[in-house]
Amino acid sequence: MEFKLNLNNRNVTNQDLLDDLLRVQSIIDSPISKSKYDELGKFSSGTIERRFGTWNKALKNAGIEVGQEKNLSDEELFKNLEQVWIKLGRQPKYDEIKQPLSLYSIRPYHRRFGKWNNALHDFVKYINSATSEQQSEFEVIKTESNDNSSIIIKHKTKREISDRLRFRVLMRDGFTCKSCGRSPMTEMGVELHVDHITPWSKGGETIPDNLITKCQQCNLGKGNEFDV
């Protein structure tokens, strides 16, 4: 019977555990299981579970595909890519498609599109495809406060800004607040909004020429100047 030394893993960092998960995953073709990791890994699956809460959370943090990533639709993959792009304020890089920035790993993009560049090309087509998605006719009755008269405003577009239109406006404005110049490209945590210039309630349509990029601070502090 061979004697084995039980090493203390208390000083092992989270990154050490994730790196070893990736090492084991590179050895096998199928999704990594706890039993397979215990067979090939430097540490134990129990240590990894205790550190990250669950096995799947550990895999996600390592950027390894988990079960729910197998049946993702094109739209789900594109929406995730859209959110990563907005958070960064620029086109994401291959090695940035992982937790915590991305909900999914790079693997489902590879499986669906073959190459990362193919995924980016198809994403751009998706963003630009819905040119008439905002079209719809509404009637809005507004009461003027000065003489209590009412007017009817007919709209050709919906009030809500679709995700794809919002993204196109952010791209056009360089992911930069047009009021103060803040951007997630230069300042971590900057949250960008897209707002109407001429308020929709005053006849402004939901079209690119009437939409503008603002950071959360500028948008919330706009007072009565703008109105979505």
50 SS3 class: helix
pLDDT in tens, the chain (228 residues): 454 444 455 678 899 999 898 888 888 766 688 888 999 999 999 899 899 888 888 888 887 766 666 678 899 999 999 999 999 999 999 999 987 888 888 888 988 898 999 999 999 999 988 665 566 666 565 545 556 666 777 888 888 999 999 999 999 999 999 999 999 999 988 999 999 999 988 889 999 999 999 999 998 875 444 444
d(CA 199, CA 211): 10
The 3-state secondary structure of 141-195 reads: EEECCCCCCEEEEEEEECCCCCHHHHHHHHHHCCCCCCCCCCCCCCCCCCCEEEE
Q: Find the helix or strand (DSSP H, E) in which 210 lies.
A: none
Q: Would you say the C-alpha torsion 145, 151, 157, 160 has a positive or negative sign?
A: positive
Please give the structure tokens belonging to residue 107: 């693997």
pLDDT at site 107: 82
Query: What is the Cα–Cα distance from 199 to 119, expressed in whole angstroms?
Result: 36
Q: What is the pLDDT of residue 210?
A: 96
Within 10 angstroms of residue 100's Cβ, the number of other Cβ atoms is 8
φ and ψ at residue 155, rounded to 5 degrees = -105, 145
In angstroms, the CA 25 to CA 22 distance is 5
Cβ contact 178:135 at 8 Å:
no
Residue linked to tokens 């499986």: 111
